Amino acid sequence: MSYVAASALRTLRPVVSQGKRPLINRSNDRTDRGEDKPEQEIDLRQLRHHTKNTLQRIIGLIAQAPGLRDTPEGEKIARELEYRISLSANISNALFGLTEAPGSMADRLRKLAGAVVDMMRDADQVIRVGVSVRGCCPAGLREAVIRSAHELIGNAVKHGMKGRPSGRIAIRLISDDTFTTLSVLDNGWGFTGTPRSGEGLSLAGGFATRHGGSLELDGADGTVATLELPH
């Protein structure tokens, strides 16, 4: 593949204040979901087992479809379908742990970023991704961080990298004593004025509001999206 997932974090230019637009004002774990209750754990195990079996069966049916792989075009379609099903499973795992229990925040962010970028990029685009995690994100904020990252990374590919042959996206998660901050930076087109708020930004802003935090966008030099959540 032309995309390199979770490569070493490359240095982007410092965030500058010009063009910053606040979208939402601030109004040592077992897994990233915290401790599951016993009755919930067996439910999750069954859901993961069912989802995994279903996805494997779909891939098997694609492979067995009569004549599908008899032509180069059919073979290409079959491979693309199988690959995108696998990417969708990786995204679902990073977000919700549908086919396997979620790992560390660093692991989840790397898997999520790689799958989202590969799912959304153009076939000939080369987009390099770096993931950096520092500190321990509180258990109660992890789902908001991961689900916001999904939307912000998707926006970076869809809008920041649109029509560009190559680019970089950096995902940084920092937790200190008082705040957890998620930053998604790209070296794409950037923006001027107030960015149009679509469903992705609306969802990320909703997670910020739910936890009394803030979401800001800076489009002066590429785009920097910053989610800040208080502890």
Are the beta carbons of 227 and 213 closer than 8 angstroms?
yes
**Which pLDDT value is given to residue 25?**
47
Q: What is the DSSP string of 48-101?
A: HHHHHHHHHHHHHHHHHSTTTTSSHHHHHHHHHHHHHHHHHHHHHHHHH-SSS-
Q: Which of 100-104, 122-126, 174-178 has the highest mean pLDDT?
A: 174-178
Averaged pLDDT of the chain: 81
Nearest to 111 by CA among 144, 75, 86: 86
Of residues 117 and 45, more confidence is placed in 117
Taking the C-alpha atoms of 215, 221, 223 and 225 in order, what is their torsion angle to the nearest 10 degrees?
-20
Whole-model pTM: value is 0.73
pLDDT score of 17: 34
Mean pLDDT value across residues 164-176: 96
C-alpha 184/C-alpha 227 separation (Å) is 9
Higher pLDDT residue, 27 or 91? Answer: 91
Q: What is the pLDDT of residue 134?
A: 97
Q: In this predicted model, what pLDDT tens digit does every residue of 180-200 receive, in sequence order?
A: 999 999 999 988 877 777 888
Give the Cα separation of 108 and 21 in Å (integer).
28
- pLDDT grade for 175, boundaries at 50, 70 and 90: very high
Higher pLDDT, 16 or 175: 175
Predicted confidence band of residue 207 (pLDDT cuts 50, 70, 90): very high
Phi, psi of 182, rounded to the nearest 5 degrees: -105, 125
Lowest mean pLDDT among 92-106, 117-131, 164-178, 203-217: 92-106
In tens, the pLDDT along 26-42 reads 443 444 444 556 666 77
Instruction: Output b/e per residue, 48-64; b: 16+ Cβ within 10 A.
Output: beebeeebeeebeebee
Quick one: which H or E segment has residue 126? strand 126-134
Distance CA 114, CA 5 (A): 5
Using one digit for the tens of pLDDT, what is the confidence trace for 147-163? 999 999 999 999 999 98
What pLDDT band is residue 231 in, cutting at 50, 70 and 90? very high
Q: What angle do CA 60, 61, 66 make, to 5 degrees?
A: 120
Instruction: Provide the sign of the torsion angle of the four alpha carbons 193, 197, 203, 209, taken in this order.
Output: positive
pLDDT attached to residue 44: 65
**Higher-confidence position of 127 and 57:** 127
